[in-house]
Amino acid sequence: MDFFIKEQIAILKMDDGKANALGHHMIEELMRALEKTEAEAKALLVLGRKGIFSGGFDLKEIEKGTKESTDLVNKGAHLFYRMFDYPKPIVTGCTGHAMAAGAFLLLASDFRIGVSGPFRIGLNETAIGMAPLPVFGKELAENRLSRRHLSAAVIQSQLFSPEESMEAGFLDQVVDPEELFAVAYEKTRELGSLPGGAFARMKRDLRRASLKEIKASLK
């Protein structure tokens, strides 16, 4: 993980050298970045490593047993709630594949920019037998995904190309890989220049019902 602040824009680069799996350490680092951004910056840009944004929850932890799996998913639930409720703009630079919890990182962000290429983005929980979705997953999907693609994305585990992901609702824009940082940084600056109080109020008001459901489910 690499975190720094440039011109009041916080930048977090996720890179574990592998699939950027969301394990305990990765989630804790993301939470710390959110705390520092809220205190010291105007907006946050989250990036993955070349070819992959995040492959989802750490399967090594999930496979340890019910308690370990539940503990990790609950920890992730707090992260996704924090992001979805976050008072400052979060822009995501999706550098490649984004699966399961990796796709939820996109859904919890305010603006999502992906890169063109042979990448897949989506929710594969049905395909791997992880049903039902946790409350945070259901609410994020219903809130951010296109109604026309919701059943295919959630029930049928359909995976989308970056271009298809714009129509489905996982991404807002797709650019060439070499353009990603410049475009994403400029978008983060643009959103960070909006009046902070108005941004936070508008965001929370629009998401009020989903936030209430997610918060009630947190353990």
Residues β-bridged to residue 94: 114
103-128 tens-digit pLDDT:
999 999 999 999 999 999 999 999 98
Residues β-bridged to residue 121: 98, 160
Q: How confident is the model at residue 130 (pLDDT cuts 50, 70, 90)?
A: confident
Residues β-bridged to residue 43: 9
| pTM summary value | 0.96
Residues 6+ apart with CB under 8 A from 105: 22, 46, 53, 54, 80, 83, 92, 98
The dotted CATH code for 2-217 is 3.90.226.10
Q: How confident is the model at residue 18 (pLDDT cuts 50, 70, 90)?
A: very high
Task: Give the residue among 55, 52, 62 at the shortest CA–CA distance from 24.
Answer: 62
